[in-house]
Amino acid sequence: MSSPMEQFVIKPIIPIEVGGVDISFTNSSLFMVLAVVVSFLLLRLCLQKRSIVPSVAQSIPESIYEFISGLLKENVGVEGLKYFSFIFTLFLFVAFGNLLGLFPYAFTFTSHLTAVGSLSLIALCFNIVIGIKKKKIRWLRTFLPKGIPFALAPLIVPIEMISFLSKPFSLTVRLVANMTVGHIMLKIIAGFVVALGVAGVVPVIFNSCIVCFEIFIALLQAFIYTVLSCIYLGDALHEH
Amino acid sequence: MPQLDFSVFPSQLFWLSISFFTMLFLMSKIIIPRIAEMINLRKEKIDDYLQKAAEIKEKAEKSLAKYQEALQKATSEANQSLLKTQQDLKTLMECKQADLSAELAAQIKEGEQKIAQGKQKALKQVEEMSAELAMDVVKKLGLKVTEAQIRKAIEVSVKE
């Protein structure tokens, strides 16, 4: 029986090294690219025939669209619609990363701290950039909220900085932990199937249920990731 | 745990950035405009229909108001003409009644006159006949009474 952790091992497919830094195209990278390609092709296919009265296929991207725009309006306000593409992409990228990982022999890049961390880093940079763009120098107020006496600054500023940086960290850990646990559980239970012989039917049934549950979790976690990103985006845009 | 292997971080960050920004580009340039186009088109169409519906409703309300006005006007006109007709009829009736009563009064007067004349005539006849009868009675009895005396006596008795 192979270790349940084996599925998470990153293997280089095309070794690339630039300036001493290893940026090999790995199985993780492959699934990132797959997430992009599959989500794009699926949406493109759904939008092949468009009409005023939407078909079932057309209504899928449309409901995602309505869902994301509702999310942005609710958490950021109407001005948040400027960043619609970013949030829309974020949601689909995470959702497809999670869902593609559920296929047998697939690799789940969303279960990797480094991968999701990179994504959160991009989101964080995005937040900082639009925050500075919107508030200019007043953006630094994020670390020293209004009404706090200046004497408290040495205490408040580090705390606020930690809280600011812990947001993407908590985002990352939540997604990674959920994905990892789900896949380990699937793998362990799948291991029982062979070990139990004829009685292995029980874990097969159980695993089927878990797969359904994992599909739900995959979407739910993508949703949570997106909602929290929206909330942080709102924080970046508004003063509290 | 392979998840905590930070040696792959550069590779992960690099490929994730590439795929994420490629996806962002594809979505914002191709997918989202295609979705938004249809949604906006639908919204426009629905708004258009709603506006049309509102216009039609307004029209209907206007024509209803017009109809009600016309109805009111017609009703008041009808009432007026009814009132006028009633008045006309009343005056006509009063006129006719007056005529009729005048005629009747005249007829009654005439009748009364005729009756009075008849009474006079009858009285005269009674007088005459009584005189003749009295004369016959006197003749048969052989009394000596003149005709003039009898007539005078009768005249007195009739008058009483």
Domain span at A115: 6-237
Residue A102 in domain: yes
Q: Which residue has the tokens 């009633």?
A: B86
Distance CA B97, CA B103 (A): 10
Q: Which has the closest alpha carbon to A93: A240, A188, A229, A205?
A: A229
Which of A28, A36, A117 lies closest to B23 in CB terms? Answer: A36
Contact A120, A173 (CB under 8 A): no
Q: How many CB atoms lie within 10 A of CB A174?
A: 15
Q: Which residues pair with A14 in a beta bridge?
A: A25
Percent of chain B with pLDDT over 90: 52
Confidence of residue A1 (pLDDT cuts 50, 70, 90): very low
| Position A1 in a domain | no
The count of CB pairs under 8 A between chains A and B is: 135
Nearest to A101 by CA among A178, A46, A40: A178
Helices (H), chain A: 27-46, 56-75, 84-101, 113-135, 153-195, 201-237
Please tell me the distance from the alpha carbon of residue A81 to that of residue A130, in angstroms, as a whole number: 13
pLDDT > 70 fraction of chain A, expressed in percent and rounded = 98
User: Stretch B35-53: mean pLDDT, rounded?
Assistant: 91
Cα-trace Rg, chain B: 62
DSSP designation for A102: T
User: Among A121, A152, A154, A128, which residue's Cα sits nearest to residue A142?
Assistant: A128
Could you say which of B16, B26, B31 has the minimum Cβ distance to residue A32? B16
Give A113's contacts in chain B (Cβ within 8 Å). 3-4
B45 contacts in chain A (CB < 8 Å):
52
A120 part of a folded domain:
yes
The identity of residue A104, as a single letter, is P
Which of B1, B6, B11 is the best residue to mutate to test the A interface, defined by the most A CB atoms within 10 Å of its own CB?
B11
What's the pLDDT score for residue B54?
96
Q: Which two tokens stand for residue A102?
A: 């559920």
B54 or A239, which is more confident: B54
Q: Is residue A23 part of a domain?
A: yes
| A contacts of B40 (beta carbons < 8 Å) | none
Q: Is the pLDDT of residue B115 over 60?
A: yes
Tell me what the pLDDT averaged over chain A comes to: 86
- The total of structural domains in chain A comes to 1
- B24: how many CB neighbours lie within 10 A of its CB? 18
Confidence band for A239, pLDDT divided at 50, 70 and 90: low
Residue B129 structure tokens: 């006949």
Name the β-bridge partners of A26.
A12
Q: Is the pLDDT of residue A215 over 70?
A: yes
Q: What are A129's two structure tokens?
A: 């950039």
In-domain check, residue A51:
yes
Instruction: Supply the pLDDT for residue A240.
Output: 56
